[in-house]
Amino acid sequence: MENILCIGAGYVGGPTMAVIAKHCPEYRVEVVDINAERIAAWRTDDLPIYEPGLLEVVREARGRNLFFETDVDAAIAPADIIFVSVNTPTKTFGEGAGQAADLQYWERTARQIARCSTSPKIVVEKSTLPVRTAEAMEAILHSAASEVQFDVVSNPEFLAEGTAIADLENPDRVLIGGHPTASGQRAVEAIADIYRHWVPEERILTTNLWSSELSKLTANAFLAQRISSINAVSALCECSGADVREVARAVGMDRRIGPNFLRAGVGFGGSCFRKDILNLVYLCRQYGLSEAADYWQQVVNMNDYRKRRIVRTMIGAMYNTLAGKRIAVLGFAFKPGTSDTRDTPALTICKLLLDENATLAITDPRALDNARKDLADAPRCEFTDDPYEAVQGAHALILTTGWPEYAALDYRRVHESMAHPAFLFDGCNLLDHAALAEIGFRVYPIGAPPLLPA
Ligand code: UDX
Ligand code: ADP
C-alpha cells in the first residue's frame, strides 16, 4: 500500500483527497492541517466547507483509507507522496505587497518536510504558486542534512468551488509537470497512476515543471479576462441601450469564442482569480515585462471598476444619497453554491455602501457566518437568514450572489414590505426584470438600461 499525505485540509486539499481516496482504495490517504478545529470538523458530518456531493464521498472513504490528522511531523515520515495544498494568499506586507504570493506557509511546509523525512518522497505542488517555486522547493528539500531523495512535481488544481466534486470526478485535464530526468519522469508517472484510476489517459497531460506552474496562472487569467471583457461591454450597454445578455449570446455563438464565462455581473471573486492575476503581474514585472504586466493588471482594474460602478448607479438612481437608507443585500458568497466569501464582490459593495452611510441588511443561504466575520468591525450591518426580513422596510435591494432561491422569492410580497419607490439592482441578471417592473420595482439590471414602472 502506498501512503499519500496531503498537507492543508482546505477547499483544495479536502475534496481532492476525498476523491482520490474514493477511487484508489489501495492507497492510504491522510490529510493533515495545523488548524485542529478544521480537522475535527472533517471527522464529523458537519464538514468545514460546503460543497455539493462532498459529504457522500468523504463518508465512503473516511476510516477506510481516508484519515484526517493534526500531527504534521508524524505524518511526513511514512508518506511516499506528499501533496502540498497550504494557502498562498497575496502578500499584505513588504516587497510585492498586494501582488506577490505570500509564501510563508508554503516555505514552512517545505522545511518541515525536509526535517521529518527519512525515506524517498515525491512532493507535489497542489497550491497555486508563482512560476519557478518548485526550484525553491527543491533547494530547501535538498539542503536537508539527510540524503533523502526528493522529486518535486507540479499538479495544479483546476476545480471550481460549488462544483468541486464534479470537476474532480470528470476533469477536462489533469496536468502534471516534472523534470525530464529519469527520477523526475518516474515521479510524474507515479502521480499519473493515481489519476488513471478514473481519468481517461488522453486527459492526463504531462509537461515540464515551469509550464505546469504557468498553465494554472494562465488558465485563471484567461477566465478572469473574459469576465472583465464582458463587464467592460456591460458598462457600454448600460449607456447605449444594448443588452449585454444579447451581446454575450451573439458573441458566444461564435465557436471560436464559445459561450462560457461571458456572464456580466458585479465582478469576479473567489480565492483564485485576483490572486493569480496579481501573481502573474508581479512575475512579469520581475522579468522586466512591464507591457505584459500592465495588460494583466487591467483585468483586475476592470473588475474593481465594475463593483464601484454598480454603487455609483445606486447612488445616482436613489436621488444622489444613500445616507440613512436601508439596503437589503441578497447574497454574500462570491458565487452561488458555496459558503466561501474570499474576495467576494459583495464585501466591496457593502463597504462602499457603508461609506455612503447606508444601513445594510445582509442575507445569504450559506455564507452568513463568513459575512459576519468579514464585516465584524463594520457599523450599521444586520444579518439575517430570512430574505423577507432583510427587505422589510428597505429602500433598495441589491442582488449580489445569484443563488437560485432568490429567483423563487415572492416579489409581490417583497415589494409590499419595502419602502417606496422600491429600487432593485440585479447584480447577477438573475431575475425577470420585466415582471419586476410590472410589480412596481424600479429595476436596474447589469448591462442594460433600467426598467422603470409605467
Ligand atoms: C476558479 C477557476 O474556475 C478554477 O478552475 C480554479 O481552480 C479556481 O478559480 P472558482 O473561483 O471556484 O474557480 O469559481 P468560478 O466558477 O471560476 O467563478 C469565479 C468568479 O467569476 C465568481 O465570482 C463568479 O461569479 C464569476 N463569474 C464567472 C462571472 O462573473 N461571470 C462568468 O461568466 C463566470
Ligand atoms: P485552498 O483554497 O488553497 O485550499 P484554504 O485556506 O482553504 O486554501 O486551505 C489551506 C489550509 O492549509 C488551511 O486549512 C491552513 O490551516 C492549512 N495550512 C497552512 N499552513 C500549514 C502548515 N504549515 N501545515 C499544515 N497545514 C497548513
pLDDT digits (tens, 9 = 90+) for 220-265: 999 999 999 999 999 999 999 999 999 999 999 999 999 999 999 9
For the entire predicted model, the pTM comes to 0.94
User: Would you state the CATH architecture of domain 2-199?
Assistant: 3-Layer(aba) Sandwich (3.40)
Q: Is 339 in the pocket of ligand 2 (CB under 6 A)?
A: no
CA of 13 to the centre of ligand 2 (A): 8
**Residue 14 to residue 297: CA distance in whole angstroms:** 31
Ligand lying closest to the C-alpha of residue 35 = 2
**Mind telling me the catalytic residues?**
272
Residue 293 reports pLDDT greater than 90: yes
Digit-coded pLDDT (tens) for 406-434 = 999 999 999 999 999 999 999 999 999 99
Distances (CA, A) of 173 to 9, 214, 351, 418: 23, 15, 39, 48
Structure letter (DSSP) for residue 203 = G
Q: Which ligand has its closest atom nearest to the C-alpha of 107?
A: 2
pLDDT above 90 as % of the chain:
88
- Condensed to tens digits (0 to 9), the pLDDT of residues 106-129 reads 889 999 999 999 999 999 998 877
CATH superfamily, with its number, for domain 208-454: NAD(P)-binding Rossmann-like Domain (3.40.50.720)
- In the structure, which protein residues have their CB atom closer than 6 angstroms to any atom of ligand 1? 157-161, 220, 223, 227, 261-263, 265, 268-270, 272-273, 334-335
CA dist., res. 360 & res. 357, Å (int): 9
> Is there a contact between 26 and 66 (Cβ–Cβ < 8 Å)?
no
> Where exactly are the structural domains of the chain?
2-199, 208-454
Band (pLDDT 50/70/90 cuts) for residue 144 is confident
User: How far is Cα 124 from Cα 85, in angstroms, rounded to an integer?
Assistant: 9
pLDDT digits (tens, 9 = 90+) for 38-64: 999 999 999 999 899 999 999 999 999
Q: Is 306 helix (H, G, I), strand (E, B) or coil?
A: helix
Name the region of 232 (left: φ>0; alpha: ψ -120 to 50; beta: rest): alpha
Q: Please tell me the distance between residue 345's alpha carbon and the centre of ligand 2 in angstroms.
A: 23
* Per-residue cell: 92: 499584505
Give the residue whose CA is nearest to atom 1 of ligand 1: 160
Interval between CA 167 and ligand 1 midpoint (Å): 13
CB of 70 closer than 6 angstroms to any ligand 2 atom: no
2-199 and 208-454: identical CATH topology: yes
